[in-house]
Amino acid sequence: MSNPVLPDGIALSTRGLSRTFRTYQKQPGFWGSLEGFYKRKFEDRVALAATDLTIPSGRIVGLVGANGAGKTTLLKILSGLIYPSSGQAQVLGFTPWERNNAYLRQMSILLGQKNQLWWDISPMDSFRLLADIYDLPKITALGRAEDLARMLDCHHVLKIQLRRLSLGERMKMELIGALLHQPRILFLDEPTIGLDIVAQATIRKFLSAYVADKAPTVILTSHYMDDIASLASQLLLISKGNLVYNGTVEDFTRKSLAKQKIAFTLSEGIPSPWTLSQTVFPTGTQTFQLEAPENEIPALMQAITQRPGLCDLRILEVDFEDVIHHFLTESQGQAQQ
Amino acid sequence: MKTVAAICKRTWRRNWAFARLGILSNIEYRFNFAVDALLQPILTVLVESTLWLALFQLQGSETFAGFTRNQYLSYVIWSSFVARLTTNWMYEFRMINEIESGSLNSLLVRPISFFESYLSQFLGYKLIVTAASLCVPIGVCLIFDFPVFWSRLPLALLTAAFYMFFLYLLSFCVATFAFHLTRITGLSVAKNLTLAVLSGEILPLDLFPPGWHNFLVHLPFASGVYIPVGYLTGRIAIDQVWQAAQVQVVSLAGVACLARFLWRKGLRTYVGTGA
């Protein structure tokens, strides 16, 4: 396969990149298992449909989608872990699945559900080993590890065997391991999965500071929309293997058809009859909410302010998670039609 | 020249690091290491010696198939040591598990090959286990004055070490089946049992009928136990060792090509499951 050189300022580019998995369809029950012993049925499942993508350097890109949408498959192809079924990809000028050492030295992937450090030794020993693998000066690498550990507030666990650490501590160690060689491109697959909100916030803050300092290109998947909203400048939405949105987070929120929420408080209950274009939901004895498209908001606000006994009226900030959920539900509905 | 030196230095650095990992991760679990390096060889020697002593007592003769009781005892003591030196089932299972579970990901995304990293870990582990367990056959043979040609020990160990690489390549080939099949430990166990017979670990190959014996000594597996231990204990002469070495070189090249082919083919089907 040819290696076209990427234009300046472009970290990654794909053309018609797709992946299909062949899966065994097991029939249920005892007889189904027996049947499967001599006759197996396989089904081809498209994990990633033909995808064209270009990502500029030095940017944090949020990759969002439901479970099984194809996010991890895309990351695995781009990091060279698996081969695509068809199409081309260039990352930092390399074809990822050729696994050229020059590429691997500039890339890092962190899979939130997989350990990548060594289970039987301490993180510090793992970092020494990584320094040898990446041929980094030992003093530089270990100093870097200590600095990163300080930033993540986990300096105290560096000499404890990895298997004895908590999930949050392990994830922080994995992050340090992924950043030790200062990769130019970083694939983060669910780096905050299963962590408590304090650990999530620490990792978010750390990533933000790290990217501001070193400016790597980051592709981040997460089910926690706060991760994406607070870190990413570009958003990729993937649904059933298809890329359904590629743009900025702000544009996405603005253009989204998601409804806005109005919350208000009345000194008395809602008088009947009170006709509004949208249904009002009680959220307490005197507090209420309604949802409406953006163009209906002024008229609704006017109608509510005319009510006697109005104590409080607010337009709630758009919840990014709701917007994504709404968008994905709609795109899945359209795909089914 | 400078580039070659730099590449060699870099290769040595990362492989020595993995060899250290093999040592560190084994001595981390002290009890298991002590059992593996000392208790197991002692138990194997006891079991095998008891069997042969019982056989000689039952037969009521001092020789069997042309060799004395002490020659057999010397053979079984060294064969259990050499077989343990070359055996690779533990790392084979680990390699299979890495591929099955998708843990292989952590190596594939780093500038080190799976083959290299496991070989270095394996050698690191063998280094410390061999150093610890070598005292068992030496001690027993010296105490009981069993027949051993001590001057032949270096060449015998070298032959066994050469076979160790061959066996590692075989294990690597078996492990690549995990790319295509979900459970292959059955295949691994079957292979190990077959090799135990073909290498002469269970029985010296000269106890097989002449036709079989002639066939078996021309297989590369004979270099696993029969050739080095037979040479060390005086059952075979040097010319058979050289003959076996030639078979080994050809087999090693063949298995290396097969391993490379299977690895490349396997990677094409790899899905990195679990994430």
pLDDT in tens, A229-260: 888 989 999 988 899 889 888 787 776 656 77
- The confidence score (pLDDT) of residue B149 equals 95
Amino acid at B203: L
- The confidence score (pLDDT) of residue A157 equals 93
Task: Label the pairing between strands A310-316 and A260-266.
Answer: antiparallel
Rounded mean pLDDT, A318-328: 70
Size of interface A-B (CB pairs under 8 A): 78
Query: Is residue A2 scored above 60 in pLDDT?
Result: no
- Name A54's bridge partners: A13
Chain B residues in contact with A83 (beta carbon < 8 A): 267-268, 270
* Residue of A67, A72, A91, A111 to mutate when probing chain B, most B C-beta within 10 A: A111
For chain A, what is the mean pLDDT? 86
> What is the band of A3 on the pLDDT scale with cuts at 50, 70, 90?
very low
Q: Which of residues 50-109 of B touch A (CB under 8 A)?
A: 102-103, 105-106, 108-109
Percentage of chain A surpassing pLDDT 90?
Answer: 40
- The confidence score (pLDDT) of residue A318 equals 65
Query: Is residue B60 scored above 50 in pLDDT?
Result: yes
> What is the band of B207 on the pLDDT scale with cuts at 50, 70, 90?
very high
- The confidence score (pLDDT) of residue A1 equals 43
Inter-chain residue contact B111 with A114, CB threshold 8 Å: no
Please tell me the distance from the alpha carbon of residue A277 to that of residue A19, in angstroms, as a whole number: 46
Element at A168 (helix H, strand E): helix A167-179
* Burial class of residue B73, CB neighbours in 10 A (0-12, 13-18, 19+): buried
- The confidence score (pLDDT) of residue B274 equals 45
The DSSP-derived string for chain B is -HHHHHHHHHHHHHHHHHHHHHHHHHHTSHHHHHIIIIIHHHHHHHHHHHHHHHHHHHHT-SEETTEEHHHHHHHHHHHHHHHHHH--HHHHHHHHHHHHHTTTHHHHTTTS-HHHHHHHHHHHHHHHHHHHHTHHHHHHHHHHT----GGGHHHHHHHHHHHHHHHHHHHHHHHHGGGT-S--HHHHHHHHHHHHHHTTSSS-GGGS-HHHHHHHHTSGGGGTTHHHHHHHTTSS-HHHHHHHHHHHHHHHHHHHHHHHHHHHHHHHH---TT-
Query: Is residue B82 scored above 50 in pLDDT?
Result: yes
- Nearest chain A Cα distance for residue B189, angstroms: 21
- Name A186's bridge partners: A108, A218
Percentage of chain B surpassing pLDDT 70?
Answer: 99
Inter-chain residue contact B24 with A120, CB threshold 8 Å: yes
Higher pLDDT, A317 or A1: A317
Q: What share of chain A is helix, strand, coil (3-state, %, to 5)?
A: 40, 30, 35
Q: Which of A72, A80, A108 sits opposite B108 (nearest CB)?
A: A80
* Burial class of residue A1, CB neighbours in 10 A (0-12, 13-18, 19+): exposed
Percentage of chain A surpassing pLDDT 70?
Answer: 92
- The confidence score (pLDDT) of residue B275 equals 37
For chain B, what is the mean pLDDT? 91
CA-nearest residue of chain A to B27? A120
Query: Is residue A119 scored above 90 in pLDDT?
Result: no
- Nearest chain A Cα distance for residue B181, angstroms: 12
| ipTM here | 0.82
Inter-chain residue contact A115 with B106, CB threshold 8 Å: yes
Query: Is residue A276 scored above 80 in pLDDT?
Result: no
Rounded mean pLDDT, B158-168: 94
Rounded mean pLDDT, A188-212: 87
Query: Is residue A149 scored above 70 in pLDDT?
Result: yes
Quote the distance between the C-alpha of residue B82 and its chain's center. Answer: 7
Higher pLDDT, B77 or A258: B77
Please tell me the distance from the alpha carbon of residue A29 to that of residue A270, in angstroms, as a whole number: 56
- Name A25's bridge partners: A41
Inter-chain residue contact A132 with B17, CB threshold 8 Å: yes
Query: Is residue B131 scored above 90 in pLDDT?
Result: no
- The confidence score (pLDDT) of residue A258 equals 60
Q: What angle do CA B128, B132, B138 make, to 5 degrees?
A: 135
pLDDT tens for each residue of B102-116: 889 999 999 999 999
Chain B residues in contact with A121 (beta carbon < 8 A): 21, 24-25, 28
- The confidence score (pLDDT) of residue A289 equals 85
Please tell me the distance from the alpha carbon of residue A251 to that of residue A232, in angstroms, as a whole number: 13
Inter-chain residue contact A121 with B24, CB threshold 8 Å: yes
Structure tokens at A113: 């559900």
pLDDT tens for each residue of A36-88: 778 888 888 899 999 999 999 999 999 988 888 899 999 999 999 999 999 99
pLDDT tens for each residue of A284-300: 878 888 888 777 888 88
- Contact in structure between B91 and B122 (CB atoms under 8 Å): yes
Inter-chain residue contact A132 with B13, CB threshold 8 Å: yes
